[in-house]
Amino acid sequence: MQLLVVATKNKKKLSEIKAILKGLDLKLLSLDAYKNVPPVVENGQTFQENAIKKAVKLARFTGQFCLGEDSGLCVDVLNGAPGIYSARFSGSNKSDIKNNLKLLRLLKDAPVAERKARYVCAVALADKQGLLGVVEGECSGLIALESKGSAGFGYDPLFYIPKYKKTFAQLGEKIKHKMSHRYYALKKAKRIIEKYIEKQVGN
């Protein structure tokens, strides 16, 4: 079984990645399994740049096959904000609730038709030799007028899918994991992972 270290301490994110990668011959660990993990300064200009930084730096640190992921919400009427700053949108005392409330404040005068948004996820894979590949996935929706639902994390209570007339947080994992930005990115990443596993078995 191939070890894959996921460059995160976010338990909900790790759980989501595990669920989507289910079926591959992998043992997933988060950074909680390691001590003195060096911080990664997420100063890239894109999701892909930040994902690559995480994967490469932490693959070097652990000496293991590593997955770096960076994702966020891009709202059209806000010129793509919060974008790469999604997790820290509400400042130093950030939280999912504070981030959601700030977004609702900024969009309070925007009609539904102008609340188009997309979730973006970049996934990078690296080992101690360096970067193996980077992929990206997207999911389009609207920003709801109020938070609804209790599943998921981040902006899920506000991310409304017109097809289902529900937010990600209302839809729950079963549906979300088959249509989310993270699902589409990890679906592409699976090819890189499978090739890596085959190569290791062949060595």
pLDDT by residue (tens digit) across 120-166? 999 999 999 999 999 999 999 999 999 999 988 999 999 999 999 99
- Which positions are catalytic? 70
- Amino acid code (one letter) for 149: G
Model pTM? 0.92
- Amino acid code (one letter) for 139: C
Lowest mean pLDDT among 9-23, 65-79, 130-144: 9-23
Task: Tell me the torsion sign for CA atoms 111, 141, 123, 23.
Answer: positive
Q: Report residue 42 as tokens.
A: 């997420």
Residues facing 118 on adjacent strands: 74, 140
Domains of the chain: 2-202 (3.90.950.10)
